[in-house]
Amino acid sequence: MSDFVSSGWAWYVAALVVAGLLYCAFVLIGAARHKVIYDAQGNVDKTTGHVWDGDLQELNNPLPRWWLMLFIITLVFAVAYFFFYPGLGIYQGSLKWSATGQLQNEIARAKLEQDKIFGQFAGKSHEELASDPAAMAIGQRLFLNNCAACHGSDAKGSKSFPNLTDGDWLHGGSPEKIVETIAQGRQGQMPPLAAAVGSPEEVRQVAHHVLSLSGSGHNPVLAAQGREKFKAVCAACHGADGKGNQAIGAPNLTDKIWLHGWGEEAIVRAINNGIVNVMPAQSPRLSDDQIKVVASYVWGLSNTTKVADAK
Ligand code: HEC
Ligand code: HEC
């Protein structure tokens, strides 16, 4: 597009516009001039002398005055418009108006409004915000607009998208950790480990050991056989007791909360294929103030009953 608006084209546009205006003015003056025609007897002849179909005459009346005025007004308007606003190609207009400038003004005005709203929350703790209905109404709206697509409008998540209401955290549930998660995003990553575990049978044994950790349905013989492999391969991230490690986002395997499905098949799949699960960083889309309020909302979902009522 910027190629198109080279200076040559700007002059071309300006010349077209000026020529158009001059032409309109010229036609207008011509039409406004009333040529008086006299007939052979010296009387004013109100016809142009053209006759059709025997008696159909063309009259030669001037344009009605109001009609003429309308044309003049539009012409004056056009000239004034090109004086104040860009349109002449080479000339910016005396107001220096531009679509980008208008957008930036609007954004600045909106930001001012937003700062006023979020200003009232400055200096308040997440705990205070979580029991402030005004803050939570905004937090919920932010959540519905920015998070619900993945985490569900009730924040209860679905397969691969964590439930944010259950007090079980991959990366930590303190307000500070939640802010960090939202602003920077998270990447939950478990490498494929089939080779490290060994044969498919050994993978099955480890899977049953994992099921046994939470008291889920399992084969006790296989689970016992898988214990050592679990300690050797999985404990580094999930902990010797399987309770997980929030520093690297490794989930607690003892709580019957399954992000990626449960049962032998799902766990064997996790071991064989590994898992990559990404929460995109929200800091490019949300301001720090917005992140603080939506983090308080999320924190409140599992920490106060008051918040649920504020909906
Ligand atoms: C594109 C989908 C997507 C969007 C949008 C999204 N999330 Fe997430 N979120 C995820 C996924 C996937 C994870 C799990 C990451 C992992 O497995 O480590 C996650 C994890 C989280 C966690 C960490 C949970 C835990 O157990 O530690 C929080 C908190 C969170 N999201 C809050 C939010 C909030 C608040 C928003 C909106 C501002 C949001 N998310 C928007 C996909 C999304
Ligand atoms: C390098 C660290 C690491 C190792 C080693 C590791 N895991 Fe994981 N594991 C993770 C992470 C991180 C996640 C969470 C992925 C996510 O964010 O969704 C995970 C998720 C899982 C899940 C899914 C849990 C759920 O809630 O659905 C299972 C099951 C699992 N691991 C089992 C194992 C087993 C069995 C082993 C050993 C063979 C193992 N992991 C070894 C890091 C590891």
248-251 contacts, C-beta under 8 A, 24 or more apart: 249/170, 249/171, 249/186, 249/187, 249/188, 249/189, 250/170, 250/190, 251/170
For atom 15 of ligand 2, the residue with the nearest CA is 188
Could you tell me the pTM of the whole model?
0.76
pLDDT tens per residue across span 201-220: 999 999 999 999 999 999 99
Do 180 and 289 lie in one domain? The reply is yes
For atom 43 of ligand 1, the residue with the nearest CA is 279
In a domain, 95, yes or no: no
| CB-CB contact of 94 with 80 (8 Å) | no
The pLDDT score that the predictor gives to residue 222 is 96
Do 269 and 190 lie in one domain? The reply is yes
Which CATH number does the domain housing residue 256 bear?
A: 1.10.760.10
The pLDDT score that the predictor gives to residue 230 is 97
- What number is the average pLDDT over the span 273-290? 94
In a domain, 96, yes or no: no
The pLDDT score that the predictor gives to residue 3 is 54
210: Cβ below 6 Å to ligand 2?
Answer: yes
pLDDT score of 225 more than 90: yes
For atom 23 of ligand 2, the residue with the nearest CA is 260
pLDDT tens per residue across span 180-197: 999 999 999 999 999 999
pLDDT score of 311 more than 50: no
Do 80 and 204 lie in one domain? The reply is no
Phi, psi at residue 155, to the nearest 5°?
Answer: 65, 15
DSSP string, 196-249: HH-SHHHHHHHHHHHHHHTT-S--HHHHHHHHHHIIIIIHHHH-TTS--BTTTT
Which has more confidence, 67 or 38? 67
Do 13 and 76 lie in one domain? The reply is yes
pLDDT score of 6 more than 70: no
pLDDT score of 178 more than 60: yes
Do 181 and 192 lie in one domain? The reply is no
Ligand number nearest to the C-alpha of 300: 1
299: Cβ below 6 Å to ligand 1?
Answer: no
Instruction: Tell me the pLDDT band of 173, cut-offs 50, 70 and 90.
Output: very high
In a domain, 244, yes or no: yes
The pLDDT score that the predictor gives to residue 305 is 56
- The whole domain housing 209 covers 186-279
pLDDT score of 38 more than 90: no
Mean pLDDT for the chain overall: 90
- What number is the average pLDDT over the span 46-61? 84
Q: Percent of the chain at pLDDT above 90?
A: 73
